[in-house]
Structure 1
Amino acid sequence: MHAVHFDLDGTLMVFDRPYADLLADACERVLDTRDPAVAEAYSTAFFERLRPVEPNPYEVGARAAIDAADADADPERFVAALRDLEYGAATVREGMPALLGALAERPLGVVSNGVGAWQRGKLDAVGLAGRFDSVVTSYDAGVAKPAPGVFAHAAERLPADDHTMVGDDTEADIEGARAAGWRAVHVEDVASPADLP
């Protein structure tokens, strides 16, 4: 049996507006500012934690934004606001429901860089949570794409004779999967199951 794994952000789902707008909305809602420097402080701190899979990237990012805004705010309130905004803006990428339906007989998985609960929440928010046999995030595997370890973890969770990754990020999804011995297809090149191995 041939398993097909999908990236989440930018592949299965997209936001209905630029992410910078969501982050600015969170800053305004909690910190009463849309100063780009505050959003930048959040993003820098967040990605410094997310890429190496270090704990609490959202909370650390929130604290950085609060410090940059010189505000007295609860980091958890900022995180909750951003989560609500992300989940509310998340939409299924056009064509994905039909593609997933056509692949229903195959083992299907998600391989995503991100915090497990947050990413699973987005899948639930767009109504896709029940469509997959396995969901693996970088925080589940302890390493982020494109490292081979996340793909190995996903293969252990979803045993199959062969694995294909569908994603939007050339380095993380396509090159990472191929380096791990998987097949890989860019999401822009997938219009139907016939486009997959």
Structure 2
Amino acid sequence: REFPITFITVDLVRRGDSKILSMVGVHTPKKDNEPLLQCTHHMCPIRVHWHVKTNYKDYWRVKVAITNFNYRMNHSLWSLAVQHPNLNNLTQVFSFNYKPLLPYGFINDTGMFYGMKYFNDLLMEAGPTGNVQSELLLQKDKDTFTFKQGWAFPRKVYFNGDECMLPPPDAYPFLPNSAPASLLNFPAFIFLLLFLLSVW
């Protein structure tokens, strides 16, 4: 059974001094080297969007999107490092390259994602092409898998080596561990059946 879950967005911590651009424009002429950011509530140059998309019986699917809000900077050969306890069960990555990082040898909870050469290894400046995305398919480990207390979301995220700011733990959405309960319970079904038999 499939059902959509929810998402979180993480923003790059390094904010710096930047000019605010309130109108969308592409290929803004460069007058200096200062960043020129699209006006957003967080005023960060990069947004990483982690969307828990589908919950299957034995697997779960995540969509990862990276958006560039800087009108003056492309990110060639970008990289995204993610720490998550279920990366050891990563089954398939659809349109990013992936390499597990094993700093502790046997613990595989950190991975490096980066673009595929000539396909999405260049994150363009802000605008219609300033976005790259992929989906991840992860197998469920019955002993550790849960959607409680933000477990489905990353512990740490780094874009090109800069740490991204995660929302506080109480901001994580509450996610269902199973499918919703049946709308018709057994006593109501018996009552309805008896009523229909008496009318008939």
Same fold (TM over 0.5): no
Larger Rg: 2
Higher helix share: 1
Higher strand share: 2
Please classify the TM superposition score into its range, dividing by the shorter chain length: under 0.3
